[in-house]
Amino acid sequence: MDDGDITVTIENGYSIPNLKVVSINGTMDSITTRQVDETVFPVIGQENANIIFDLSNIDYLSSTGILCLLKYVISFNNQRRLLKFVKPPNHIYNTFVIAGIAKRFDMYDNLEAAMATLR
């Protein structure tokens, strides 16, 4: 999906079965989070896959974007599925820390580190 403000790609988890890597590039705000949901929900709803969200290329994350990501965390916790995150840039990650929600996200410095926890 490419709308100019956001690009969402979903790939199989390389050599790890039942893993999808969702890369989000650009701005996550009240408009683009709907686009993210439209791409991501069919994948997480139809498949019993574990997911890694790669947030390393997000340049802006609004409160709506944070709520969108928290919604995924809650959904996966309820389904007892694994959901991991690649850390966003520091200026965005610091927002998670200030808001007191950083610990709600199983976050890693890079994709390789997140994938290593699933092997």
What pLDDT does 47 receive?
A: 67
3-state secondary structure the chain: CECCCEEEEEEECCCCCCEEEEEEEEEECCCHHHHHHHHHHHHHHHCCCEEEEEEEEEEEECHHHHHHHHHHHHHHHHHCCCEEEECCCHHHHHHHHHHCCHHHCCEECCHHHHHHCCC
Give the architecture-level CATH label for domain 6-116: 2-Layer Sandwich (3.30)
- Confidence label for 36 from pLDDT (cuts 50, 70 and 90): very high
Give residue limits of the domains in the chain.
Answer: 6-116
pLDDT higher than 90, residue 83:
yes
pLDDT at 3 over 60: no
pLDDT recorded at residue 75: 86
Residue 51 has pLDDT above 80, yes or no: yes
